[in-house]
Amino acid sequence: MTSGLAIETRGLSKHFGQQAAVDHVDLAVPHGTVFGFLGPNGSGKTTTIRMLLGLAAASAGTVTLLGQEMPDKLHAVLPRVGALVEGPAFYPFLSGAANLHRLDSASPHTVPATRRARVQQALQRVGLEHAAGKRVHAYSLGMKQRLGIANALLSPRDLLVLDEPTNGLDPQGTREVRNLVRSLAHQGTTVFVSSHLLAEVDQMCTHAAVMSAGKLVAQGPLAELRQAGSTRLRLVTPDGGAARQILAGLGLVPGLGDAEGEPARSGRPGPQAPEPRRPQPDGETIVAALDASLQPAVLPEDVVARLVQAGVRVRGFAVERESLEDRFVALTGEGFDVAQ
């Protein structure tokens, strides 16, 4: 392992006819992270995961898993990777433990002599040891999903790849799976987990990548993704005309706040209808994005100083940092689901 990355892709692409389901994706997943693979439904997450695991051929690009080229080194790498992609098919009238025995014996890489102990340990890791003898048809959805993860843990793994592991679960099942992912990461396994829910990734993950329409639009530590959001200034003044001139002179593009006094949203895709000017009792609310790339840098305190210097009366001034939610909605479009 030279790159220090558990997963690395370069220019990874997959076409279905004319459609680019995955379009030149460069993923970099560091070892030891819980990496959230975030994006709305249909953005290309499952297709990417299938290519990572050698379940689908790439149209272009490369995949390196645990330092080894895929799919060339598939047989050497896959025993070190646990995956929950389509969910294994369980026999409903066999117990959880019996199902794991069956699945483990179907794998060519496992050692039969240690099977009993490994099944027991995997059930224990996902908190199902008490339900080991229970038939799977009596399991809740959350228990079935945990059994699927137990199946991925039947051998020691360096990397776990989980595709939407909380999909279809009730809040209790969702909590169970989230806690499980966190505890697996504590034990040192790199976890790559896809989700269409920002809140979920926010709660479980240390890092994230964001997919939108087949393209990777952001990735990195969650703390950095939060920092990368834009900053807005919100100014309330009875001297709107003069204030606009000052802001424009500093290289900022002033817009008008909306009728409720909320700032105009910047950075969102979609048509930008001109906002009607409405008289406000306290004066005009002007919103301007503070562009971090401006040279020399413009600080909020510089803006206030210039406004006051020019005799602009300031009734209100606020610095607003775009939330992670705002940022991801801006990156992926309005269809992005932030709930739960």
Ligand X SMILES: Nc1ncnc2c1ncn2[C@@H]1O[C@H](COP(=O)(O)OP(=O)(O)OP(=O)(O)O)[C@@H](O)[C@H]1O
Q: Is residue 9 involved in binding ligand X (CB under 6 A)?
A: no
Contact 96, 159 (CB under 8 A): no
Q: Is residue 21 involved in binding ligand X (CB under 6 A)?
A: yes
Positive/negative CA dihedral, 221, 226, 228, 229: positive
Q: Is residue 43 involved in binding ligand X (CB under 6 A)?
A: yes
Q: Is residue 165 involved in binding ligand X (CB under 6 A)?
A: no
Task: Tell me the one-letter amino acid at 123.
Answer: L
Contact 90, 144 (CB under 8 A): yes
Min dist CB 215 to ligand X, Å, is: 11
The footprint of ligand X on residues 172-231 (CB under 6 A) is 196
Contact region with ligand X (CB under 6 A), list: 42-50, 106-114, 126-134, 239-247: 42-50
Residue placing its CB nearer to ligand X in the complex, 21 or 123: 21
Q: Is residue 332 involved in binding ligand X (CB under 6 A)?
A: no
DSSP 197: B
Min dist CB 47 to ligand X, Å, is: 3
Contact region with ligand X (CB under 6 A), list: 40-48, 146-154, 298-306, 332-340: 40-48
Min dist CB 38 to ligand X, Å, is: 10
Q: Is residue 91 involved in binding ligand X (CB under 6 A)?
A: no
Contact region with ligand X (CB under 6 A), list: 35-43, 107-115, 230-238, 329-337: 35-43
- Size of the residue set binding ligand X (CB under 6 A): 12
Query: Cα 151 to the chain's mean position, in Å?
Result: 24
Residue placing its CB nearer to ligand X in the complex, 54 or 255: 54
Walk across the sheet containing 254-256 and list its strands: 254-256, 284-290, 231-237, 316-321
Burial category of 81 from C-beta neighbours within 10 Å (exposed 0-12, middle 13-18, buried 19 and up): buried
Contact 194, 46 (CB under 8 A): yes
Q: Is residue 54 involved in binding ligand X (CB under 6 A)?
A: no
Q: Is residue 47 involved in binding ligand X (CB under 6 A)?
A: yes
Q: Is residue 16 involved in binding ligand X (CB under 6 A)?
A: yes
Q: Is residue 64 involved in binding ligand X (CB under 6 A)?
A: no
Contact 27, 120 (CB under 8 A): no
Q: Which of 1, 3, 41, 114 binds ligand X (CB under 6 A)?
A: 41
Q: b/e string for 206-222 if b means 16 or more Cβ within 10 A?
A: ebbbbbbbbbbbbbbeb
Rounded-to-10 torsion of CA 64, 69, 73, 78: 0
- Binding residues for ligand X, per CB under 6 A? 16, 21, 39, 41-47, 164, 196
